[in-house]
Amino acid sequence: MNSLANNPDELSRRRFLASAGILTAGIILSPWEVLAQGGSPVTTIIAEAAKSPITIQKLKTGFNVLEGSGGNILVFNGPEGKMMVDAGIDVSKAKIKQALASISPKHVEHLISTHWHFDHASGNNWVHETGANIISQAITKKHLSQSVRVVDWNYTFPPAPAGALPTTLFEKDYAMNMNGETLRLQHYGPAHTDCDIFVHFENADVIHVADTFWNGYYPFIDYSTGGSIKGMLKAAIANVNRVSASTIVVPGHGPVGNKAQLIEFRDMLAAITHNVETLKKQGKSLAETVAAKPTKAFDAKWNNFVIKSDLFTYLVYRGV
Ligand SMILES: [Zn+2]
């Protein structure tokens, strides 16, 4: 495997898996275990989306969230048409189309991509084909245009089709009006990836914070495209500072939430970062740090989804 020798990240991950004994997988395979066996959670997540129904949750007049195809999709509807924030996974196309039609007959005029990941942007192409203009931070387009290997998913994404690429790009901030709303889009800087943005509908006070917030779950952090735990923490702090007690907060993953839950998430990230950093500074190896269970106090609440505590510890360890 020449590619391993040329890829220190992948080599160190596999050495860790072997040294930590995780290569002997349990009966129910977590993505971590799937990875250890040379598979990829991406394949599993796509297969789950293909089976999953799309549920529609109404937040307030004009605002609905679609769940069941990777990341949460926010749909904003009004007399000028629809806007989607993220497009989910392309295997859900028929079901998402049906959900959109059940909200109103209006077309999707704009699609905002919160970042480049497949579980938020692989539906871009078909949404564009229905006539939508795609808006994103500039780096999202760069990643979608190229082949990208995400080491911690053990997966190489091919370049997206031309129609999936955003055509309205911004660096730091973008503002627009639609259906009587004022929208503010802003780049976080490096966080979960290097191209994450929030989309804040300021009058309705609804915000989609992309994958900088996983409500009730340990988050994935994509070091392959510029994410880091320190950046995640910075974004979590920025989210808490931006919202009020009445803001409706749409996370990348997990149920729609509020400021109190953003605070819990920020505090969880801060505490685990501190715990892992302390162990690393004491000279503990990755395997020793995982064995010390630095997430233990938080597992009952957060260890319930794709990113399990051992994998999350590894993701934090990399960045402290
Ligand atoms: Zn993501």
- Domain CATH number, residue 137: 3.60.15.10
Unique residue bearing structure tokens 């989609």: 208
- What distance in angstroms lies between residue 211's CA and the mean position of ligand 1's atoms? 5
In the sheet where 181-187 sits, what is the strand order?
173-178, 181-187, 197-201, 206-208, 248-250
Polymer length of the chain? 320
- What distance in angstroms lies between residue 105's CA and the mean position of ligand 1's atoms? 30
Between these two residues, 136 and 28, which has the higher pLDDT value? 136
- What distance in angstroms lies between residue 210's CA and the mean position of ligand 1's atoms? 7
Is the pTM higher than 0.85? yes
**Where residue 26 falls among pLDDT bands split at 50, 70, 90?**
very low
pLDDT of 287-319, one tens digit each? 999 999 999 999 999 998 878 899 999 999 999
Q: What is the pLDDT of residue 23?
A: 38
- What distance in angstroms lies between residue 70's CA and the mean position of ligand 1's atoms? 9
- What distance in angstroms lies between residue 5's CA and the mean position of ligand 1's atoms? 27
Q: What is the pLDDT of residue 153?
A: 87
Q: What is the pLDDT of residue 38?
A: 67
- What distance in angstroms lies between residue 157's CA and the mean position of ligand 1's atoms? 14
Q: CA torsion 50→56→57→62, rounded to 10°?
A: 130
Distance from C-alpha of 143 to C-alpha of 227, rounded to nearest angstrom: 13
- What distance in angstroms lies between residue 228's CA and the mean position of ligand 1's atoms? 12
Phi then psi for 207, rounded to 5 degrees?
-130, 135
Unique residue bearing structure tokens 């923490």: 233
- What distance in angstroms lies between residue 293's CA and the mean position of ligand 1's atoms? 25
Residue 262's domain comprises 2-318
- What distance in angstroms lies between residue 282's CA and the mean position of ligand 1's atoms? 31
- What distance in angstroms lies between residue 144's CA and the mean position of ligand 1's atoms? 13
**Where residue 14 falls among pLDDT bands split at 50, 70, 90?**
low
- What distance in angstroms lies between residue 168's CA and the mean position of ligand 1's atoms? 20
- What distance in angstroms lies between residue 227's CA and the mean position of ligand 1's atoms? 10
Question: CA 3, 5, 11: angle at the middle one, nearest 5?
Answer: 100
Q: What is the pLDDT of residue 152?
A: 86
Q: In the structure encoding, which two tokens stand for residue 41, read together?
A: 């959670």
Q: What is the pLDDT of residue 180?
A: 96
How many domains would you assign to the chain? 1
How many other C-beta atoms are found inside a 10 Å radius of the C-beta of residue 70?
27
Q: What is the pLDDT of residue 37?
A: 64
- What distance in angstroms lies between residue 208's CA and the mean position of ligand 1's atoms? 13
Q: In the structure encoding, which two tokens stand for residue 219, read together?
A: 């988050």
- What distance in angstroms lies between residue 118's CA and the mean position of ligand 1's atoms? 8
Ion ligand 1: residue ranges with CB closer than 5 A: 117, 211
pLDDT of 86-132, one tens digit each? 999 999 999 999 999 999 999 999 999 999 999 999 999 999 999 99
- What distance in angstroms lies between residue 97's CA and the mean position of ligand 1's atoms? 22
- What distance in angstroms lies between residue 287's CA and the mean position of ligand 1's atoms? 26
Using the predicted structure, report yes or no on whether residue 11 has a pLDDT greater than 60: no
Distance from C-alpha of 312 to C-alpha of 301, rounded to nearest angstrom: 14
Q: In the structure encoding, which two tokens stand for residue 206, read together?
A: 């609804």
